[in-house]
Structure 1
Amino acid sequence: MARLILFLLAFSLTALSMPTRWSADEAKFYSSISKEIQNIRKHGNDIRRPGCELSDLKLPQSSKPLPNIPGGQKLLAVAVGRGTQNYTCESESEKPTPRGALATLFDASCIAANYPQLLASLTNAALHLQQPEPFSNAPGAARMPVMGHHFFSNGTTAVFEAANMGASSVIKIEAVDAPQNSLPGVCGQLDGAVPWLFLESIPESTGKAKSIYRVNTAGGSPPKYCTGQPKEITVQYSAEYWFYG
């Protein structure tokens, strides 16, 4: 139990070392951490799951569900992705064209297993924190260790690279709109949360993850039109990624 308390206290110390003018999302997240510390002190191990067991976790659902988890596949990991969705504008008369994404993947598996109520608010809190440097290994929100990185190998194929799962190359199979109460963005980029996705591995993929769900998104949508926009647009986003294989 002592280790768990220290783990959560590290989250709180991260908060105390930051400016005190938190966003509402950050305040909600750190308030949840405080409640977890109090619960652990009061109830001990009775309130937590053993280890980082993922078998009983339920994939978040929007009002319009994504396809079911393919039969025989099990949850391998849960990550919080923090980075940018990228777009281009060829002319002011067009709409922004998607040009992939670049994100750091932070391992949230143990948070998902033991503190799912924290996970639910973590992507919003993460979007208010500074974007990590591309392919850096610095810890993220709540001191989550880097699990890997997300990028695109071409216009349609996304790659999720993690040391413990290899590199999974996937394509989009289905998308549904993010819930209306999703965080639309930060720092003036308030055009909405990117859709939730069901991604499936291509035959050439060598990674363990065969299906990936992007859920609980925050930010990432581009302006509706290219008028007045630069040729290259990067929009801050965060999201949960659930890996199955």
Structure 2
Amino acid sequence: MVSVKSILLAAMATVVYGAPCQPTFVPTLPKTGGARELPSPPPSFTLKKIAVGHGIQNYTCVDTTSAPKADGAVAILYDVTKYAPGTPKTGIAKALWDRIPSALLLKPLTLNKLAGTKYGAHATAPFPKEEDLKLLGFPIAEYLGHHYFDISSTPMFDLNRVGLKASVTKLDNVDAPANADKGPLKTGAVAWLQLGDSGKGLSSGITQVYRVITAGGVGQKCDVAGVGVHSVPYTTFYWFF
């Protein structure tokens, strides 16, 4: 004879172990809508973080007739992972999400300034104290880390708040959409990038990085910027896998 207790235990086991597992939500990497898109990360890769970055792209003009040569970047990274559209409970509307880079570009740079420049960052101490991002009309984004180029000109991402790091090299790029925010200097939005591990053994927990939904950052014409180094503000989303 089957006891009532046995029936209840069997029913509980069905509820706990027999119910289908709910899939983990994974945000979809943005697309430019152009003829060619950045390759998607391998299915085995796991999204670790999504950050919004705010900083500067640096350029060098050899003379007033040459094209500006990219010369590294410096940016502060803020964690916006939980606000990605579709994320249960904390996700925000896609229209609001897509506006974050442009809205942030209106905010004054918080990098430690290089004396005598409008946008240049201090060469040896560019980063101020760690603070969360408070952007009017948007949820607070927690400080996540820094982006910079090391002494060998290798792009670095140090997500020191969560113990992740990436030393990367460019794998692919596509132009930003024609309607992308051109930034305060109206020079244009920098390209979207797929970045992979540099192979230098400096990465920790990150294999690929994507730069998407860019705003600003394109260098000025050298006949305007003159000879030497100039900096241009930019913002973007970085996706870390």
Match of 2:105 in 1: 127
Cα distance in 2 for partners of 1:103, 1:67 equals 25
Cα distance in 1 for partners of 2:60, 2:104 equals 25
> Secondary structure in 2 aligned to 1:98?
strand
- Greater helix content: 1
Cα distance in 1 for partners of 2:195, 2:110 equals 24
Match of 2:27 in 1: 57
Q: Which moved more, 1:92-101 or 1:62-71?
A: 62-71
> Secondary structure in 1 aligned to 2:225?
coil
8 Å Cα contact 2:26/2:47 also seen in 1: no
Provide, for residues 185-216 of structure 1, a one-character-per-residue CA deviation record: whole Å limited to 9, x for no partner. 11xx1110000000001222332110110000
Pick from 221, 224, 233: which aligns with 2:218?
A: 221
The TM-score with structure 1 as length reference comes to: 0.73
8 Å Cα contact 1:54/1:75 also seen in 2: no
* 2:38 is aligned with 1:81: no
Query: 1:132/1:54 Cα in 2 relative to 1: closer, same or farther (>3 Å)?
Result: farther
Cα distance in 2 for partners of 1:152, 1:92 equals 26
* 2:197 is aligned with 1:201: yes
The TM-score with structure 2 as length reference comes to: 0.74
Cα distance in 1 for partners of 2:149, 2:205 equals 18
Cα distance in 2 for partners of 1:155, 1:58 equals 33
Q: Which moved more, 1:106-115 or 1:147-156?
A: 147-156
Query: 1:211/1:55 Cα in 2 relative to 1: closer, same or farther (>3 Å)?
Result: farther
Cα distance in 2 for partners of 1:193, 1:229 equals 17
Provide, for residues 136-160 of structure 1, a one-character-per-residue CA deviation record: whole Å limited to 9, x for no partner. 3122234311100000115652100
Query: 1:54/1:94 Cα in 2 relative to 1: closer, same or farther (>3 Å)?
Result: farther
* Counterpart residue type for residue 115 of structure 1: I
Cα distance in 1 for partners of 2:151, 2:108 equals 27
8 Å Cα contact 2:52/2:238 also seen in 1: yes
Pick from 132, 135, 142: which aligns with 1:139?
A: 132
Deviation at 1:71, TM superposition (A): 3.6
Cα distance in 2 for partners of 1:155, 1:226 equals 25
8 Å Cα contact 1:165/1:209 also seen in 2: no
Larger Rg: 2
Match of 1:180 in 2: 178
Query: Percent of aligned pairs with the same residue?
Result: 32
> Secondary structure in 1 aligned to 2:222?
coil
The CA RMSD over aligned residues, in Å, is: 1.7
Gaps of 5+ in 2: 1-22, 112-125
Query: 1:92/1:162 Cα in 2 relative to 1: closer, same or farther (>3 Å)?
Result: same
8 Å Cα contact 1:191/1:221 also seen in 2: yes
* 2:149 is aligned with 1:171: no
8 Å Cα contact 1:193/1:218 also seen in 2: yes
